[in-house]
Chains A and B, each alone.
Chain A
Amino acid sequence: MTSSTPEPARRTLLTLAATAALAGLPAFTASAAPARPADEPAGRTDARHLLWWRAPGDAHSLIEQGLPVGTGRLGALASNDPGRELLLITDATMWTGGLNDTLDADGQFPYGRDDFGSLTLLARLTVDLPDHDLGSVTGYRRTLDLDRGVVGCTYVQGGATYRREVFASRPDDVIVVHFTQSGGGRYTGTVTLEGTHGEDPAPSFGASFPGGLRYGAAVTAYGSGGRVRVRGDRIDVAGCREFTVVVGGGTNYAPDAAAGYRDPSLDPLELARTKVRDAAAHPAEVLRRTHVADHQALYRRFDLDLGTSTARARGLDTWERVNLRHTGGEPDPELEAAYVHFGRYLMIAGSRGSLPMGLQGLWLDGNDPDWMGDYHTDINLQMNYWMADRTGLSPCFDALTDYCLAQLPAWTDLTHRLFGDPRNRYRNSSGKTAGWTVAISTNPHGGNGWWWHPAGNAWLCNTLFEHYEYTLSRPHLERIHPLLRGAVDFWEARLVTADAPDGTGEVLIADSDWSPEHGPLDAKGITYAQELVWTLFGNYARAAEELGRDHEHAARIARLREKLYLPGVSPKTGWLKEWMSPENLGETTHRHLSPLVGLFPGDRIRPDGSTPKEIVEGATALLTARGTESFGWANAWRALCWARLKNAEKAYQLVVNNLRPSTGGANGTAFNLFDIYQTGPGRGIFQIDANLGTPAAVSEMVLYSRPGHLELLPALPAAWSSAGSVSGLPARGGFTVDLAWRDGEPTSVRIRSTGGRRTTVVHGGTSRTVALKPGESVTLNGFAR
């Protein structure tokens, strides 16, 4: 479809609105009574599943020192200071802006906190226990139990051992802080809930943003052995042997463009009160068991063991291990595996039943996160979700699908109305516009921010399609089909013809564009767009085949795909070209790897003989030139690319670079394992993409897959080779893999079909073909030496 007339677009809008209505209920909504398990399985104390520290978080540095919890929608950072527990709470839908559909003078989108908007805090919860000042307690120990999804701390004072647990329960839709002790201790203090947008402190509050989004939060507390009562704007706790604080909240956001992304019938304040009251009807142990069961249903789908660490590393807390890993220069396989499991913990805590995770997930330390904490569609959002399938958390991927579907009507409308604006330097020179695309930044209210990003639609679709390749879920494919179709329509209207650089005739190239955040602003046929569209068109054809629809259109798209220009190697630089030019038009070590999207996440460039040697060499040379010292997400992407090139040690070096302890805002890993992105001298900010992208890289080092092809241990570094295992590892093509290795060689391999029927399994020089029915599994013995 290449028409720019409004009528078909309006029809599309209606169709899509109907689809979006199926996308999901409002994020904050009444929920059924959860199943309450009678007991809780034994916890795991392996270092890779249990992080611990010897110091609490500083109230003013929670972004680096707070420990995250989240229900998938409602998240918090906890200080775990004995004398003052502080939780900074936000909700994935707590967004200040709106549709933002008035272009700036340059034809691009405004990017401010009022128009485009920003993720922002919902509330601060403080539990003051003045007698428990950190200076007066001993033996302080703080844990993040990844396996149970529980943050906690213990300490001793006056002969009593005090224990605190913080968890965010998706079944009960609240955050719980449970204070217990043994040895005759008592708790006396105050619980205070405060808004962060000028609301009066109160045990519950509700307000709204100028754009109309309503929000609310509520807290309650209950205990035993003493007294808990509301006193004015706070809750007093006096002489309790144990007590529990329950906090909840949310907004009236609805993932529905037709409703303006609001549920007018929803009163967030009332709902928050109801939720905390319902939860508070249960003892904290029951709430915790309910939460742990829910958490482990996801967490325990997968495990990864990269080997045993040295005795001296094992004696240290997590932050000391991060430092020892850096200063000692020796591998710490347990810490490196823990970093993967921490990313998985964040995915479970941050991406369920609501919006997907943007630049910071659910974790903020102020109302104004850098870059709004938004969705960046030119790497960061996609990177966040590479790990979902790769580490056994496919259900967490759905938040991204739901989001794109809910945004599609607005994205389509904005593209139709605004993309062709003559002031937009990226508009189609043909004058025709179809389908949908996005800007570099997007928000949850259908809005775009900053500059148009034409190829963003293709990358989002390819990411959604990859999830189909992992799951072979036909319902998922049906759901995303409108997104694919709209993106294909967009590119059908946008491609222009040009003479092939090698003189082989006419090719199709993308209109003027900016290779993300790099080089010239008006380059035609950028590699980034060519590769993404080539993959998009291929995915569209496969979707048509799987769904048995659109044969003619798919055939036409397949023909267009064959005419797409695909980049070669610059004779000048020896690199795979980023632009249709032999020159290096940008920064050699630029953070983005946009011209390598065909290496990862794409499949066009394969070092297995199926891709021309010079292309692989050109990609390798470009990746080499980009270096190994960059921001966290950029290192993660580099690690993924090196894994695809089977260079285990380079990939490992990049993983390790992200584990460098960050001090003074430097790039690396903070005290709480959050990735820090240095924005200037002495200033760093949290960006979650490296926390999520690095686990994807580790997964790709252990298993490479594409439909019909699995490769075991393609890039296993020496540091992890002596012995290790992975279980529940999904593979593209509809399989999961259990794999153990010793001395770098597989010792046991089990393949289970989750829908896939046939695949080759490769390791070293050995190749096996496996044929299975869905649900069946097979153990392969042929790979052990």
Chain B
Amino acid sequence: MGSSSYSVLPARGLRAVVVLAVAAGLATTAPAARADSAPSSPASSTAPAAKPYMGWSSWSMQSSKYPGLNPDGDYSYLTEANVLKQADAMAAKLKKYGYEYVNIDAGWWRDRAWTPEFDGYARQKADPKRFPRGMGAVADDLHAKGLKAGIYLPVGLEKEAYDDGKTPIWNAEGCTTADIVYDDLRTTNGWDSAYKIDFSDPCAQKYVDSQARMFADWGYDFLKLDGVGPGSFKSGDNYDNVADVAAWQKAIAATGRPIHLELSWSLNIGHAADWKKHSQGWRIDTDVECYCNTLVSWENSVDDRWVDLPAWTRHAGPGGWNDLDALDVGNGEMDGLTKAERQSAATLWAIAKSPLYTGDDLTRLDSYGLSLLTNREVIAVNQGDTPPAHLVTASDPQQVWAAKNPDGTYTVALFNLADRPAAVTADFSALGFTGRAAVRDLWNHESLGTHRDGITQALPAHGSRLFTLTPKGAADVSRTGYEAESGGNTLAGSASVADCSACSGGKKVGNLYTGGRLTFNDVVVPAAGTYQVRISYVSGDARPASVSANGNGAVRHTFAATGDWGTVSTATVPVQLKAGANTVTVDSGSDYAPDIDRIDVIRSS
């Protein structure tokens, strides 16, 4: 869960009755840790999150208004019985493909009215209706099925746990909840549902340690920390939870149990280094769920992933991955997606090397959904020793994403994000090689033979293809670069040269807005043809620009955000050039265009 849920919960209204909740907490005298707890699975022999995790999460079904899922009120799907039912289905259908985590999301410590339970140490405690045997028993059962157990917390000290500052912190002599928050009770997280923790007081780390200890003792293998900022639609000091995340990392390490730490939601890309340092994954976007009559919908907000992912691609790798949220493609009717959309989502998740966890009802996977979730060739793209794919083209309705793999092959995905069918072409020179390549269609388990120079396929609306390309004696391409700041170029309107340390030559051309225009005046090619032109640019947000050659037929492209105004990315676009000298113009038109570092004209060598 993340962006939408907490704020619309009954809990919001219940903040007024926080006293009641605290009273309930005090009445509970549960042991701080289970006496019989023991590590239930050996520490992983590999590094944490060497590859994206695979599993299931409860939130999609909890958050949906799909008929029958939450008959006892919003989010009521979350119960031990339902979790174990899903776990059984996962063990039976998906485990052999690598799916192992069963992640319990928000609400495990809250009743149907969303009233929380705490254990006397300000730690969340299982709601007895939802989890009558407690959380440890569930983890044990999951382990018994050969699966891993995941649990959830919002970041910060939940307001209901504060109890006027008097609640003691477990295993922290003299520490109470008053010691771990700021005197002014400033709030934090994406819903402002918690007090911000002040880590300048040693009691604060003790509190996080006590929660981690509890989860470890229960036998959990995974924690989703939600509402984390900067991110979760929040910014500013009060919502900077980097210290919380660091504390969690430290606390988990102290338990001696490998617990995967995943952060949510819409994490700020400017802090990517912090997230990589302290966690194993981070949600790059808002909730994928639509909070509607299906689990998700294309427009709200599956399709956002194509817009927001490109800037994050370079941050993913072993140890920490870009999390696209639940992959809800297992049942067309429940998912609210077309077949084409389901395949496209599965394709993007796979090539992005996003964690592959579904939020579907695993007891009701349809045959197409099962085929999407269990395609071994596609899973291998996600789980193999290959880099995440990056957006090769501009962020246009027809897109190509690709990764060059260590074995010399290329993973190539075609997407048609338009609302109507369209042909999409992956030009080999844009990928970095020329000549012929054998094409393997991963979704259809079919070899499509050898293609020369490129491959084109018809895609349905919101459709995709996923290929492995094996170049056949192919040559590398050559690129001829032209710097934006070159004196031979023509700058029109507001366009001007600016410093840019990340840019080649240390400069770029910026201020391309409302008529601002950059023209490269002497782009020379030997023969007329369609050339792939790689545009290196800087753009903190996604921006459009028109690209034309020799004043003909400008084509408007959208350039994906690079994440900030100091990072250079590339987009390769086709341009029609004539033999000899050409002009190539990047025009802002009536909009704000990205800053341009350089262009490279790609040629078969």
Contact = CB atoms under 8 A, between A and B. Distances in A.
B458 A140 contact: yes
A135 B339 contact: yes
A210 interface: no
A133 B339 contact: yes
A532 B230 CA distance: 74
Given A134-B463, A324-B530, A55 B423 contact: yes
Given A56-B421, A135-B343, A138-B441, 16 more contacts: A53-B423, A54-B423, A54-B456, A54-B458, A58-B419, A65-B420, A81-B421, A134-B463, A135-B443, A135-B464, A136-B443, A138-B446, A138-B448, A324-B576, A329-B553, A330-B576
B603 to A, nearest CB: 15
A282 interface: no
A599 to B, nearest CB: 31
Contacts of A610: none
A55 B552 CA distance: 26
30 contacts: A54-B457, A55-B422, A56-B458, A58-B420, A60-B419, A60-B420, A65-B421, A133-B339, A135-B460, A135-B463, A135-B465, A137-B458, A138-B441, A138-B444, A139-B448, A139-B457, A140-B458, A310-B528, A312-B528, A323-B553, A327-B553, A327-B554, A327-B555, A327-B575, A328-B552, A328-B553, A328-B576, A329-B552, A329-B553, A329-B576
Contacts of A60: 419-420
A53 B528 CA distance: 23
A81 B339 CA distance: 14
A326 B551 CA distance: 11
Contacts of A504: none
Given A140-B457, A328-B553, A134 B421 contact: yes
Contacts of A330: 528, 576, 578
Given A135-B339, A327-B553, A329-B552, A58 B576 contact: no
Interface in A137-166: 137-140, 155, 158
A265 interface: no
Interface of B: 339-340, 343, 419-423, 441, 443-444, 446, 448, 456-461, 463-465, 528-530, 548-555, 575-576, 578
Contacts of A134: 340, 421, 458-460, 463
Nearest to A324: B576
Contacts of B551: 329
A61 B548 CA distance: 28
A74 B340 CA distance: 33
A55 B420 CA distance: 9
Contacts of A55: 421-423, 458-459
B584 to A, nearest CB: 12
A79 to B, nearest CB: 9
Interface in A23-66: 53-58, 60-61, 65
A112 B506 CA distance: 66
Contacts of A323: 553
A317 interface: yes
Contact of B548 (A58, A137, A155, A327): A327
A737 B456 CA distance: 43
Contacts, number: 89
A138 B457 contact: yes
Interface in A324-348: 324, 326-330
A54 to B, nearest CB: 3
Interface string A110-137: 0000000000000000000000011111
B552 A327 contact: yes
Contacts of A312: 528-530
Contacts of A139: 448, 457
Interface string A429-451: 00000000000000000000000
**Which residue, of A61, A135, A310, A327, has the highest number of chain B Cβ atoms within 10 A?**
A135
Given A135-B339, A327-B576, A57 B446 contact: no
B394 to A, nearest CB: 14
A156 B554 CA distance: 35
A513 B419 CA distance: 46
A51 to B, nearest CB: 14
| Size bracket of the A interface | 20 to 34
Contacts of A65: 420-421
Contacts of A133: 339-340, 460
B456 A61 contact: no
Nearest to B463: A135
B434 to A, nearest CB: 16
Contacts of B550: 329
Contacts of B448: 138-139
Nearest to A138: B448
Contacts of A328: 530, 552-553, 576
Nearest to B446: A138
A56 B458 CA distance: 7
Contacts of A326: 552-553
B572 to A, nearest CB: 16
Contacts of A329: 550-553, 576
Contacts of B343: 135
A323 B576 CA distance: 10
B553 A317 contact: no
B462 to A, nearest CB: 10
Closest 10 interchain pairs by CB?
A: A329-B552, A58-B420, A327-B553, A54-B423, A328-B576, A140-B458, A326-B553, A134-B460, A55-B458, A55-B423
A134 B576 CA distance: 30
A58 B462 CA distance: 12
A136 B464 CA distance: 10
Interface string A289-315: 000000000000000000000101000
Contacts of B421: 55-58, 65, 81, 134
Contacts of A57: 420-421
A326 B553 CA distance: 5
A329 B585 CA distance: 15
Nearest to B548: A327
A666 B257 CA distance: 62
Contacts of B339: 133, 135
Interface string A454-483: 000000000000000000000000000000
A60 B418 CA distance: 12
A155 to B, nearest CB: 8
Of the candidates B420, B441, B461, the one having the most CB atoms from chain A within 10 angstroms of its own CB is B420
A211 to B, nearest CB: 36
Interface in A627-664: none
A134 B421 CA distance: 9
B154 to A, nearest CB: 39
Contacts of A53: 423
A466 to B, nearest CB: 37
A8 to B, nearest CB: 58
A423 B312 CA distance: 71
Contacts of B458: 54-56, 134, 137, 140, 155
A137 B457 CA distance: 9
Contacts of B575: 327
Contacts of B529: 312
Give the interface centre of B459, B553, B575 by most chain A CB atoms within 10 Å.
B553
B419 to A, nearest CB: 7
A727 B386 CA distance: 60
B469 to A, nearest CB: 14
A326 B554 CA distance: 9
Contacts of A138: 441, 444, 446, 448, 457
Contacts of A324: 530, 576
A140 B464 CA distance: 14
A56 B530 CA distance: 24
Interface in A393-411: none
Contacts of B552: 326-329
Contacts of B463: 134-135
B20 to A, nearest CB: 53
A632 to B, nearest CB: 18
A243 to B, nearest CB: 23
Interface in A584-612: none
